[in-house]
Amino acid sequence: MQLNYFPIHFDFERYQINTEPYTQVRLAELRDKYNSTHSFFKNGDTIYISNKDGDDSLLIGKLAERNTFGDNEVTASLIKHIFFRTFKDRFKQYTPVDFYPFRFFSGKDDIIKNALPDKLKDKICYKKLIEVQLRLTGINGAKRFGFLIIIRRNWLFNISCAELHAEGFELKGLDVLHAETLPGLTNILAPNEEFVGVWKEVNGNKAKIETNDGLKEYELNELFIRKTKFNIGNYLSFATSQQKCDEILNIIESKRSDIYNPKSLYAEIIRIAEHLFTENGQPVLFQNKDSFCFTVESKPFEISNTIQLKTPTFIFDHAGTKTNNFNPDAGLLNFGPYDSITFDIKTPNILCVCNKNNRGVFTNFLSGLKDGLPQSKYFQKGLQRKYDLQDVLFNIKEIQDFTVNEYLNAIRSEDESKPHLAIIEIPAAFKRYDDRNNPYHAIKAKLLSLEIPVQYVTTEIIKNHNEYILNSLALQMYAKMGGIPWVLPSQRSVDREIVIGIGHSWLRKNQYAGAEQNRVVGITTFLSSDGQYLLADKVKDAAFENYFDELLRSLKNSIQRLSTEQGWSEGETVRLIFHIFKPIKNTEFDVISQLVREINQYNIKFAFVTISQHHPNILFDINQSGVQKYGNSNTIGAYIPNRGSNIFLDSETCIVQMLGASELKTAKQGMSKPIQIKIRTPQGNYNNNGLNDLIFHDLSYITQQIFSFTYLSWRSFLPGEEPATMKYSNLISRLLGKMRSVPGWDADKLNYGLKRKKWFL
């Protein structure tokens, strides 16, 4: 197995570098005088100076000695500056987009160039964007620096709004960027682009832009339309024809499988590494005139699994005697759900709403859902028998057309007994509506306000359902009503343990530069160590300065409720594993510090773990030849490691491949990236008042637990890419964000009757 990581080699453990005491004025002065030959960067209270091309006799500052890995921040800055200047010397034809992460566009590989008319060639491109990131790792206990290479595809659009306006292209209402070349960086870095707002009107050689600070004027030649598929497609239609525009966009879509093919991606990364790190077959020596130098390997780093991750056992009874080691669906067929004896909705009453023109196929669909498909392999029993229900009662309401009022009238006409669930037919077209005018969200908001979970099904699914669709729908419906299909084995420990997902989203007016992010909404989900969904709490929308108090209140109330329900005893050790997806500086550490002080009857230990799909690490297995899917002669997934492949990058960070070749559905999924798991510690000069002593540091334990929790989404029987905590918080945040625009919707209602139900699946 290989990582897209190319190790750096030094011949020394210590080095000398010139330094000066830091002041902002002195740093600006040095850069103004010597920036063409020297690099200057700040670390702490010191300015560090690297002479790349200057006169040897020119001495700036005093010599100081540093340790290569002990002073890793200084070393990292030095590596970045020397790499940047060496690249500029060797490849003068490229203008980097950014200093760090270091990014530049390839000179070739424009896949739409041949389809464009001559006047647009090299003005509109779809090219490879190559990114190089520096990392310090501790793989296998050895500290080393190395470069990660990542490849993406991005649009380039080099036609200014001055040119577009002169051509007569309609700019009113379009999102625009302001491009500005930073002082001293002409031909060194590409202009800095900032999303400033929406085009309103032209005033001579300037345009009035609606920004977050009101109307502002910018020079036309400094403005560019935002590089989205929509904007570029509109211009292509204007400059050529709709037919030519469709042809160009279809080229990109048709090449998607090739662009993201793992084997091709691996080969491209190798070629780029050889180009960057070797010359005439020999390693490039990256050096300055102060004797700091290094070379970089041109072959990716060879690794093997750090730990063996195990597929969990699935449990279907409280005694733990009914188990399946491979497939939760087979376990359900044989044993029924985990909570079969205790589930209190044995005869669910389900409100069903369909269009009057589809009543025939809708009732056929309901029959198959309830009683199963006799000839099927996976859904022969149906919802009623598979989930050990006594009966399933359908109350069918017809609507005349797919309008909000029709749906709401059907819901209002419901009988006095509140349904346990609603099944609502909707057209696929609802997916294309904007959030504010989408009946999907208005109907969901109404039903949830009545504490009724909802299961949507499109007309297409009703007419073309099969055993796979019905099987997944039944699983989701049982979970939405509060059922527990299966659990995982509890980790044997004398400590009590709760796994808590914390998600949040910023409420901001728009995406323009300067938009205030002054309100935060938080989501917390609580699971037991065996994966049982305990409850969720929506943290009230709060101004940022009040978010601390709201999150603390939510966690404290929920933990006190669970401690009472589960009979925690004073003095017990309670381990809280927090899965956090977008940490806000040290806010969460502040909250936990306060929580530990306020809930002092228990001995609390905790871990803060971030789980991310946004990172630069990619795993390759060149021995993976791919798999065939559904009788197709073509193979997919070549070079993608098996699910569960992993590597510990250091004592706090692990990456895990969640989708292997066997889990991919189509070749269009391309290179499946691993997730990154990281145990977080307070950052910067943080006064933690002994908090470090309470942090749980077992990365192997946490990684296995997260891997096991990917089998608990209950949206599907297949394992997912993210654990249930992350999946649940993300689903809740996404739905709440979309329903925010529904008039009269109050998300706080979810903190009552639906707190323990998975209404969001």
Structure tokens at 510: 């728009």
- Please tell me the predicted confidence (pLDDT) of residue 538: 64
Architecture of domain 314-480: 3-Layer(aba) Sandwich (3.40)
- Please tell me the predicted confidence (pLDDT) of residue 54: 86
Q: Between 327 and 294, where is the model more confident?
A: 294
Domain residue spans of the chain: 2-16+76-287, 314-480, 496-613+675-751, 618-673
For the cut 80, the answer to whether the pLDDT of residue 507 exceeds it is no
Rounded distance between C-alpha atoms, residue 243 and residue 479, angstroms: 47
DSSP three-state, residue 553: helix
- Please tell me the predicted confidence (pLDDT) of residue 639: 92
Q: Between 247 and 535, where is the model more confident?
A: 247
Q: Give the position of tokens 């700019």.
A: 171
What pLDDT digit, counting tens, does each position of 608-646 carry? 898 988 899 999 999 998 887 765 667 888 899 999 999
Any residues with CB less than 8 A from the CB of 239 and at least 6 apart, and which?
117, 119, 120, 167, 169
Q: Are 397 and 424 in contact (CB under 8 A)?
A: no
Query: Quick one: 255 exposed, middle or buried, by C-beta within 10 A (0-12, 13-18, 19+)?
Result: middle
Q: Bridge-partner residues for 502, per DSSP?
A: 524, 580
For the cut 70, the answer to whether the pLDDT of residue 443 exceeds it is yes
The phi, psi pair for 199, rounded to 5°, reads: -65, 130
DSSP three-state, residue 615: coil
Closest to 102 measured CA to CA, from 117, 91, 113: 91
Q: Give the position of tokens 């021995």.
A: 623
What is the CB-side half-sphere exposure of residue 454 using CA atoms within 13 A? Answer: 21
The H or E element spanning position 58 is none
End-to-end CA distance of the chain: give it in Å, rounded.
Answer: 35
For the cut 80, the answer to whether the pLDDT of residue 724 exceeds it is yes
Closest to 486 measured CA to CA, from 529, 525, 532, 536: 532
Closest to 383 measured CA to CA, from 337, 322, 314, 339: 337
Exposed e or buried b per residue across 519-537, where buried means at least 16 C-beta atoms within 10 angstroms of its C-beta: ebbbbbbbbbbbbbbbbbb
Query: Confidence band (pLDDT; 50, 70, 90) for 159?
Result: very high
Q: Bridge-partner residues for 3, per DSSP?
A: 301, 619
What pLDDT digit, counting tens, does each position of 270-317 carry? 999 999 999 999 999 999 999 999 999 999 999 999 999 999 999 999
Q: Bridge-partner residues for 497, per DSSP?
A: 575
Rounded distance between C-alpha atoms, residue 463 and residue 358, angstroms: 9
For the cut 80, the answer to whether the pLDDT of residue 687 exceeds it is no
For the cut 90, the answer to whether the pLDDT of residue 475 exceeds it is yes
- Please tell me the predicted confidence (pLDDT) of residue 515: 46
Q: Of 4-18, 88-102, 314-328, 678-692, which range is least confident?
A: 678-692
Q: Bridge-partner residues for 43, per DSSP?
A: 46
What's the mean pLDDT when you consider all of the chain? Answer: 87
Q: Between 274 and 180, where is the model more confident?
A: 274
Share of the chain above pLDDT 90, in %: 51
CATH superfamily label, 496-613+675-751: Ribonuclease H-like superfamily/Ribonuclease H (3.30.420.10)
Query: Across 18-22, 212-216, 589-593, 662-666, which has the greatest mean pLDDT?
Result: 18-22
Rounded distance between C-alpha atoms, residue 595 and residue 551, angstroms: 10
What pLDDT digit, counting tens, does each position of 57-84 carry? 788 989 999 999 999 999 999 999 999 9
Query: Across 95-109, 243-257, 351-365, which has the greatest mean pLDDT?
Result: 351-365
Task: Return the DSSP state at 125.
Answer: E
Q: Between 522 and 646, where is the model more confident?
A: 646
For the segment 451-456, the average pLDDT, to the nearest whole number, is 92
Please state, as a whole number, how many other Cβ atoms lie within 10 Å of the Cβ of residue 61. Answer: 16
- Please tell me the predicted confidence (pLDDT) of residue 45: 94
Structure tokens at 245: 């525009």
